[in-house]
Each structure stands twice: as structure tokens, then as C-alpha cells.
Structure 1
């Protein structure tokens, strides 16, 4: 990764700076912490509870955007899932810091970038303190939580990671879930623009009695991930000479994976510019779709696929189901997207308010 990304978004010494066996060994810990279905199952009830709180707040008159609500809901959920202590207010404050790092890392010539550096420093110190407290016994998280996994993780030589690096990787286990809040902003726009799908998702959730694991909500979430230009590309260096389509990229050359272009390529997708969640109907194993790479591609253990992808899908689908509640209205203003900014989302984050019951049709 370029240094401005390494030192802000991913953190110094993270898995993203490693190659070969050292990288695979470190990444295996991420797979243990986040990819297993049991880890997803632990997170789902936490997500549902937090989104219920957000729904209740909107119905009571709250006016926060879908993005702001998602930062808080995802942040509190993932921190409890990770075994972290702290009050909901404290967890929300840290979630906002982590979200701002995501917002500012790609804008080195704006005030958002130095603020991201400040939040990176604060977060690194806070996460290091959590690792140190766990190693000393002052904290005792459950063995299957991210905090316990990173506090006890040893490198390929059998040595404990420096507590600062372990804290960086603890953040890299949590922050991607908070970053999904940007997908939620895109989902709010899509729900506004495609009310037929919103009605179907609301009906599905009502019939099932839960926001989790709904087929239609998940299809909608997958189409959001395919069409939202949140992470448009990923950079790397070639570690050996590469021959591809008649061209040779020498070792040390820059590689850019065009995520957005691949997800919208007409050689792989039918009518790719159309927003159509139905294209994911009946797709039980999305990892077999080689042109569907919003969280990277390949095998999660040996390729570039993000181990947190399952968590992201589960969280996004629950958020979409919550936003489809007929008691909520998604405002029309502020839904434009500046595609020249990295990362991007609808300008307002998707403004949400409660529907005025006095304006409802008496037959609905």
C-alpha cells in the first residue's frame, strides 16, 4: 500500500505490509477471528439489537443520517463482539474516530487527512492499551474474541507481536465493519430510488420476524456492494515478473486492481449498469463469482479476499431491512455522489426521519 494509506487506514506493520509466508500466517488469525460462521452468528444478535435502538430513536424524532446511525450501530456491535470493554457512548466515540480515518485517508490535500492521522495515533494507543491489559490479566475477554486472539497471537517465529502491532490488527478486525456504514448510505439512496424493493424487504422482515438473513435483503445488499463505488480500486507491487494478456509487468511494478470496473464489466455481467438485486437470486456461494470482488477475490486464506466479508454482508443486510421499515422515510435531498472523491458516498449519508402518522393513507 502507498505510505499515505499504510500510515492512516491500515496502520504501520499491519498484515497489508507483509508478503509470502509471513503474510499467510498473520492472515490466518484474521480468518479465525472473523470468517468462521460461528463468528458471524455471534455478531448477528448484537447488530439486530443496535439497529432496533436506531429505529426506536428515529421513530421518537431522531434525525441522524443512515450513515451516522450505521457508524454507531456497527461500532458498538463489533466492539462488543471483539470482547472490548466500555460504555456504549465510549464505543460510539471510538467508532466515529475509526470512521473518520476511513473518510480521511484518501484525501491527503484536505483537512480530513491530518485529522485521520490524529485519530490513527489515538486509536493505536488505545488499542495497544487494550492488548497490554489483556496480556497482564487486567482484562479477560473470551477466547474466541478478536481481543483475545490478537493479544495471544504469535508470528511465524513463535514470538508475540509487539503490543502496538497487535493493537493495529485488532483495529483491522473491527474497522472494516464500521466502514460498511458507507455501503449503508448507498443502500439508503437505492431504497429511496427503488421503493418496490423496499416494500419487498419490509414484507420479508415482517413475515420472518427478524431482520437477519433475509433472502431479499441479502440480494439487495450484494447488489449494493457490486454497484457502490466506495472502494473503487486496490494498489500493490508485483513481487515477481508477471505476464498478463500479452503484457509483462516487471517485479516492483505497480499493480492496481480495478474493483469497481470488474464489478460492472459487461463481459461478466448482464446489463451491468442496471441496479438489479435479482441477479443474486439463488446465488448461495457468492465467492464462486470471480467477477464479484467488492471485498477482494480468490480464496480467503490464500487470495486477496477480506476475511470480514461475511460480517459485512450480514451487517449490511440487517441495516437494509431496518431502513425498509415503513415507519421511516428516506429524504430525497443530499443523495448525490461525488465520484471524484476517495472514499465516497451519498453527500448527506441518507437522511432518515419518521413518517408523520397523520399523513399516512388510512387504508395502509
Structure 2
């Protein structure tokens, strides 16, 4: 049995943090394999990349999510007890609730709310000399998703809730004080969400029928029991937080429109299906979440390599989206590639792989796509602005990666 190639460093956590999107892919190229082993956060971890590795990783008979995510992510990004850490019947039952919230009609309703909020925000931007787009997108997204989810939000608390929801994904992997701000934001956000859940269950608060707040608060698990209030709060935040994280993708939409003006022209001409191709190429080309983790259920072998029970395994999402075996000229930005063929769910994994109803692929993927399309069309047809001199290079050491100046726009004008 061949030995899995091994990163010789005593612990490679700093190497991963220094190059979160490229570490796995670069080391696999060096080893000439799709996998290698490293010690990360003092735990032996098998790191994998590529479509074949993704297909293996989403084999539920071989991998589980329970106990896989590192504690810093559970304490900030995911929360304790959420759907991301479930397996088997519990996962299928909880995932079905999330999938019921993202029907085409519901996603369209959220997209329309966001378009309205974006237009209102753009009028405010037009009264400012310049705007940092990444920061400016957060409150419109908060107001859109809370209104859609049935979550009451007073004007006076929009800023606080927005700041906390953003911290859950923007500061989760930040060094030093940033990470502790994310932990504090998680504590405040869960307390707020618990109060909403308990008020709705007690009849002190109402929510629109079928809204995410009602669905989560009244959801019964596979044993017909209500979720504990804290777990219900985590799942409500699992609706709100990822929607705000779409701000990262929307900044990349603006970045791509600036670097590729031909894309703006195609969107202005309303070419059939082009908005979908453009948005999907943004999701493939740009960095979002670098990797996902699982644990081996029972001993098995793959390509002759041993996978011992309990071993943590990390799948490289960014590298898989740029794998030359699946993508022609993978570093080029080419929306037309999505007209040529439909990639498999193991080649195209910006928010996880496989099938979302049964596996751990993000249930909010459709929301991300529709909100990005709203922004792409709005920026191309309804918004006039200048892009002043700034640093547009992507900071690939940051999680999530962003243009170093977070994409500044100036002289904003909203078309009538």
C-alpha cells in the first residue's frame, strides 16, 4: 500500500493561513498527486483537490460531518448544532427544511426585495463623493433578507445586526482580535435569534406563513420535537448570514465588469442566458470559501491510499474550480464556457459539491446566483459610476478574499 505524500512541517497551519486558497493545490502539484497529508491545527489531515477527489469526498458512506469542522469555525461561522455538522437522517430532515425555503418563487421574492433595497441605497451613494462597495452592500442585504425572512428589524437596530452578521463570516478566520469580535458577534446574534424564536412560539410575535422565521421556529426534528431554541437560532442565522456573505460575490461581479467591459455590454444588450453564464463564471473564477472538511467514517482505501477512521479530510474548493482537467484555460475569465457545457457537480464547487437536497452542498446557492444577477444587471443598466485609481488586486491571504481596497466607486448616478 503506497504512503500518502506528507507535508514535512511539524504543523502546516501557518502555511495554510498564509495561502488559504492555494496551499492545497500547490502542494498537490508539488507531490504530483490529488492528495497529501499534513498536520493542521495539530491534527493529521488529508488534503485533496480535483473533481475525482470531490466525488469521493461527497460519498456519504465514507465521510461524515459530525465533529469535522475546527472549533474556531463552529464558534463563529457555523454555530453549534447547525445543519452543517449533521449526518444521516438528522441531516436529511433538517436539510429538507432549508430546501423548502429556497423554491423558485421564494428566491424570486428575495431577489425583488434586494433590487428595491439596492436602488434605495444607490440613491444614497449618489450623494457621497465615493463609496466602498463591499461595506455599502451589507445594510441593503440585511434589510432585504430580514424582510423576506419575516424577521422584525427596527431602523435603529439595522446597523448593529448588520455589523454582527457580517462579522460571522468576515472575521471568523481573522487573526487576533478579529476572531474574538466574531465570537462576540455570534453570542449577540444567537441571543437575538433565540428571543425571536421564543417570542414566536409563545405567540408574542407573528411571522408570515411559510417565512424562514416561522419555518425554523416551528420546525420539528426527525423525532417530531421542536429544535432547542439555541439550535433554532443557529439555523435562523444560517439563513441570514450566508445571504450577507453574497456581498463578497457581488463585489466580484463589479470587479469582473470593470476588468471585462465586454461583459457589461452583453448584459446591457440582454443577451438570452448571458447573465446566468456571467454569474456562474464569477463564482467559478473568483475565490469564495477555500475548502470544506469532513471525517472518515470507517477505514477504506482510495487509489491504494489508506483513509483511517476518524481522520479529518479537507477538500480544496478553489483549486477544484480551477482544475485544468475539468476547465479549459482555468485562469481565464470566460462566461461563454457555461454555454458550451454544463459542468458536473464535482467539477463546479464554489459552495460545495454534489446534490444540494441530499448532500452538504449549500442550500442557498440559488439565492447567491439570483442576487448576483440582480446586481450584475443593475450595475450594468441602472447605475453609472466611476472606478477611481485604487488597488484592485485580490488579497488572497484574506478570508474571504477581496480586492485590497474593497472596490471603491465614485460619482454614482442612478438612471431614471
TM-score of the superposed pair, with normalisation by structure 2: 0.78
Residue number among 107, 112, 130 corresponding to 2:178 in the alignment: 112
* Mapped partners of 1:117, 1:66: distance in 2: 25
Note the C-alpha offset of 1:291. 0.4
Residues 134 and 151 in structure 1, CA contact (< 8 A), matched pair in contact too: yes
Residue number among 133, 142, 165 corresponding to 1:75 in the alignment: 142
Taking only aligned residues, the RMSD between alpha carbons, in angstroms, comes to: 2.1
- The structure richer in strand per residue is 2
Residue number among 214, 238, 244 corresponding to 1:178 in the alignment: 244
Residues 4 and 105 in structure 1, CA contact (< 8 A), matched pair in contact too: yes
Note the C-alpha offset of 1:289. 4.5
CA offsets 1:96-152 (integer angstroms, 9 cap, x no match): 211122111112x32210110111100000000010111111111112111000110
- The structure richer in helix per residue is 1
CA gap of 1:254–1:62, structure 2 versus 1, over 3 A, is same
CA gap of 1:356–1:315, structure 2 versus 1, over 3 A, is closer
Note the C-alpha offset of 1:306. 0.9
Q: How does 1:131-146 map to 2 (within 5 A)?
A: 131-146=197-212
* Mapped partners of 2:392, 2:289: distance in 1: 18
Q: How does 1:9-158 map to 2 (within 5 A)?
A: 9-34=77-102, 36-61=103-128, 63-88=130-155, 90-107=157-174, 109-158=175-224
Residues 122 and 412 in structure 2, CA contact (< 8 A), matched pair in contact too: no
Residues 141 and 243 in structure 2, CA contact (< 8 A), matched pair in contact too: yes
2:253 paired with 1:196: no
CA offsets 1:205-231 (integer angstroms, 9 cap, x no match): xx9xxxxxx732322211111011121
* Mapped partners of 1:12, 1:355: distance in 2: 42
2:386 paired with 1:329: yes
2:310 paired with 1:252: yes
Instruction: Report what 1:221 is aligned to.
Output: 279
* Mapped partners of 2:366, 2:387: distance in 1: 27
* Mapped partners of 2:347, 2:408: distance in 1: 32
Instruction: Report what 1:361 is aligned to.
Output: none
Note the C-alpha offset of 1:87. 2.9
2:331 paired with 1:273: yes
CA offsets 1:45-78 (integer angstroms, 9 cap, x no match): 1011011112222333363222122212222111
Contiguous gaps of at least 5 residues in structure 1: 208-213, 358-364
Note the C-alpha offset of 1:287. 7.3
The worse-fitting range, judged by mean Cα deviation, of 262-271 and 14-23 is 14-23
Instruction: Report what 2:397 is aligned to.
Output: 340
What is the aligned length?
Answer: 345
2:355 paired with 1:299: yes
Note the C-alpha offset of 1:95. 2.3
Instruction: Report what 1:311 is aligned to.
Output: 367
Instruction: Report what 1:210 is aligned to.
Output: none
Note the C-alpha offset of 1:92. 4.5
Residues 125 and 412 in structure 2, CA contact (< 8 A), matched pair in contact too: no
Note the C-alpha offset of 1:89. 5.2
Residues 33 and 146 in structure 1, CA contact (< 8 A), matched pair in contact too: yes
* Mapped partners of 2:98, 2:334: distance in 1: 32
Contiguous gaps of at least 5 residues in structure 2: 1-68
Residues 345 and 354 in structure 2, CA contact (< 8 A), matched pair in contact too: no
Residues 58 and 328 in structure 1, CA contact (< 8 A), matched pair in contact too: no
Instruction: Report what 2:297 is aligned to.
Output: 239
